[in-house]
Structure 1
Amino acid sequence: MRLILSALMVFAFTPPVMAQTAEAERTIMSTVVAEHDRHIDLLERIVNVNSGTLNLAGVTAVGEMVRAELDPLGFEVRWIDMAQTGRAGHLIATHDGGGRNILLIGHLDTVFESNSPFQRFARDGSQATGPGVGDDKGGVIVIIAALRAMQAAGTLEGSNITIVLTGDEERPGSPLAVARRDLIAAGQVADYALEFEGLAIENGEEFGTIARRSSSSWTLTTGGRTGHSSGVFGDTLGYGAIYEMARILDTFRRELPEPNLTYNVGVIAGGTPAEIDAAGFRVQASGKTNIVAETAIARGDLRTLTPEQDARVRDRMAGIVDDHLAKTTAELVFAEDGYPPMAPTPGNTALLERLNAVNRDLGLPEMAPFDPAKRGAADSGFVAADVDTLGGLGTAGSGAHAVGESIDLDSLVRQSQRAAVLIGRLSLGDR
């Protein structure tokens, strides 16, 4: 907090030509500090409303709480119903004050459904725990706090801002083309996109997110001739489904590795028979040691940094699958619904430099790009092909997606200050 408050001094020596903007940004800084307790209270209230993705009423209720914050700021707020995809919906808010359009991205849902034992906000000094407290309700509070500070400083009035808060980021509805239709459309007309997932921190150092990897899934099914195990490896029975599965997965392990690529196997079963449920999460199999396996099934994910890498790796995986052991078959199917990558681009790098200019002026440390292999996929991937994008502008914390998820409440202040100044400069023009 000392660093945050001392940053107010930076503007005291601003040249006269910049005085008006400097005064507005001083107001932003002080407003965020003054309203810190208000926003902790708001965070506690929205965390205590369960909004697990499948709790449609809870997601809708959190959306209404956010609407109540945005309406007084002059935003036109709409709720986009997503019953077609089996989800609650998305909140979209627009404020067209002219200038370049800034798209702000976050989400209302959490991974903690109504039956989770982890349901309540708990504070211990500058730390707090709660379901979704950082992912992504803390990020939503950063957006609200930043916009309130901009209103107090007079920089919101002339800003052109679109907010998209999805209601199913943690478990997207299907078809994905419908579930992300409105977010994609917003990205296509935006000049910049800022995503408010958690801040990347490593060894106490804060980083900027200019890239995220994709997330897609695949299913591999292998088949073999079944019969008495005494005939395995022979001309009649060949190798069976499990040996074919083992060949393919081990070849993936040996031949595919390259930077920023992973291809996890999450579930596997083999036998006579073996099957997987319609949702693709549960497998079952039976068999005996003296029977050659007839079927094997595995499901996994694929994470890549660029569309080009994704296409290349899929082709290599398909080639490995097609090189069958004797008397076996194999089929590799990639799911149609997946998160695209937020590839690193010069535009994203330039956007991080704009944030670092803010950091310098606020007396905060500059941020290097974070290793994308250490970040998960996010909704920013759906717009990154169309607009320069910067991610990780939410709060600092730990334990996302796990009981005990925590937040550094002081990070609400510096992240809201950074965001408010950056949004104003991007929309209205740099100082």
Structure 2
Amino acid sequence: MTSLTATENAAIERAADAPMLSQVEQWAAINSGTGNLAGLKRVAGELADAFSVLPGEVRLVAADPVESVDAAGQVNIVQRGDHLHLRVRPDAPVQLLLTGHMDTVFAADHPFQTLKWLEPGVLNGPGTADMKAGISVILAALSALEASPLAERVGYDVMINSDEETGSQASARLIAELAKGKTAALTYEPALPDGTLAGARPGSGNFSVVVHGLSAHAGRNPDDGRNALLAAADLALRLATLKSPTLKVNPAKIDGGGPNNVVPDSAILRVNMRPATPEAMVEAEAALRDAIAAVSREHDVHCHVHGGFNRPPKPLDPAATRLFELVQGCGAALGLPPIGWNATGGVCDGNNIAACGIPVVDTMGPRGGAIHSADEFLIVDSLAERARLSALTLMRIAERGTV
């Protein structure tokens, strides 16, 4: 176990004393589903006020426009909420990126809207673990760093986006811009209940394949038609066969069809693909094109593909492994149970950051679980635990000047 210096002790205790629970309760009480622009605006305003205690200027950055294919096959522009950005000491020798997201998966009309205690120390509520608690930890750790004599050695950007839960298409450009030149990055998705971190992650791509067929009478002349729904179903089955140890494929939905007596002339297949490696991603793109070409030819239909791989795979390279080991060493110095990390099938903004060549640990948030469900919970004691861990990690990167 590495001993703590007096400076480190002072910082980690300051971080632990931050009013994180009250912040989580306040922020989680506001619905901020990705599509709830009014709720996101309220949360962004509260976060801007909270982060204004740090040096630098807090700004709200307009979201990039996002295209979406509706059930009729039409491409529409979807508006997302503003993202929060804070930049501090951009000329310091060590530059870090800390990221989180203010949105949740729970829409404004979702029944899961309130907080309750499941048992002492376990708080249930929308966005408690994923990830308003993580945002409170970012603020606590940085506030502790700012009170430390090491603060002048390190600069940082904080980015809290509004669309992480839907793939960060409206913030991907901002993430890539802020990741440039950084020494390391920390992202505050929740750790598992036992404290395990997410290590390697697959990539993720969402595709909408619009199939254009030809309508005809289902009884009089069905052979004159080109059944788009049948072609979409055939494509779904072909794509499902692409599953392998390095690729997960989930044909998720088919929109289309109509009256039983009409051969359907349009359908939209929605599919998610998760390649484990960059090579698997390239192969998946080629296989998707080949399957679409075969279906188009055999069913005499025309297909248009919308979407792509918005989350590149995140393997653990040597720099990322060193950062994980630094966090692990900080946990040992704090007397925490050994911190490990495992590969996971989920994706997050850590994928995008790693694709910029920046080492990132993307589960620095408090411990919790059952995320994306009405059983979501936060282990409240881990707020102080993870604030200490983050503060110490930041300080040791500042001391070393590297990971």
> Is TM > 0.5 for Structure 1 vs Structure 2?
yes
The corresponding residue for 2:328 is: 356
Q: Distance in 1 between matches of 2:41 and 2:299?
A: 54
Q: Distance in 2 between matches of 1:72 and 1:243?
A: 58
TM-aligned CA distance change 1:42 to 1:244, over 3 Å: closer
Out of 114, 130, 137, the position equivalent to 2:132 is 137
Deviation at 1:192, TM superposition (A): 0.8
- Show the 5 A alignment for 1:13-412: 14=3, 22-35=5-18, 38-82=19-63, 86-96=79-89, 98-123=92-117, 124-171=119-166, 176=169, 179-201=171-193, 204=194, 206-221=196-211, 223=213, 226=216, 240-254=227-241, 256-269=242-255, 274=256, 284-288=257-261, 295-324=266-295, 326=298, 328-329=300-301, 331=303, 333-336=305-308, 338-373=310-345, 375=346, 377-386=347-356, 387-412=358-383
Deviation at 1:100, TM superposition (A): 1.2
Identity %: 24
Q: Deviation digits for residues 327-358 of structure 1, max 9, x if unmatched?
A: 53352514158333334322222211111121
The corresponding residue for 1:277 is: none
Q: Distance in 1 between matches of 2:50 and 2:153?
A: 19
Instruction: Say if 2:145 and 2:151, in contact at 8 Å, map to a contact too.
Output: yes
Please tell me the residue identity of whatever aligns with 1:360: A
The corresponding residue for 2:72 is: none
Q: Distance in 2 between matches of 1:344 and 1:216?
A: 23
The corresponding residue for 2:75 is: none
Q: Distance in 1 between matches of 2:131 and 2:399?
A: 27
Structure with greater Cα Rg: 1
Q: Equivalent residue of 1:317, what SS?
A: helix
Instruction: Say if 1:260 and 1:305, in contact at 8 Å, map to a contact too.
Output: yes
Deviation at 1:69, TM superposition (A): 3.0
Q: Distance in 1 between matches of 2:298 and 2:351?
A: 41
Please tell me the residue identity of whatever aligns with 1:368: G
Please tell me the residue identity of whatever aligns with 1:52: G
TM normalised by structure 1 equals 0.79
Q: Distance in 2 between matches of 1:125 and 1:214?
A: 37
Instruction: Say if 1:213 and 1:372, in contact at 8 Å, map to a contact too.
Output: no
Deviation at 1:205, TM superposition (A): 5.8
Deviation at 1:103, TM superposition (A): 0.2
Q: Distance in 2 between matches of 1:237 and 1:84?
A: 40
Instruction: Say if 1:210 and 1:348, in contact at 8 Å, map to a contact too.
Output: no
Aligned residues: 386
For structure 1, which runs of at least 5 residues remain unmatched after alignment? 1-9, 15-20, 275-283
Q: Distance in 2 between matches of 1:48 and 1:304?
A: 36
Deviation at 1:107, TM superposition (A): 1.1
Q: Distance in 1 between matches of 2:64 and 2:250?
A: 32
TM-aligned CA distance change 1:358 to 1:41, over 3 Å: same
Q: Equivalent residue of 1:264, what SS?
A: strand
Q: Equivalent residue of 2:388, what SS?
A: helix
TM normalised by structure 2 equals 0.84
Q: Equivalent residue of 1:170, what SS?
A: helix
Instruction: Say if 1:91 and 1:166, in contact at 8 Å, map to a contact too.
Output: yes
Deviation at 1:360, TM superposition (A): 2.1
Q: Distance in 1 between matches of 2:116 and 2:215?
A: 58
Instruction: Say if 2:323 and 2:361, in contact at 8 Å, map to a contact too.
Output: yes
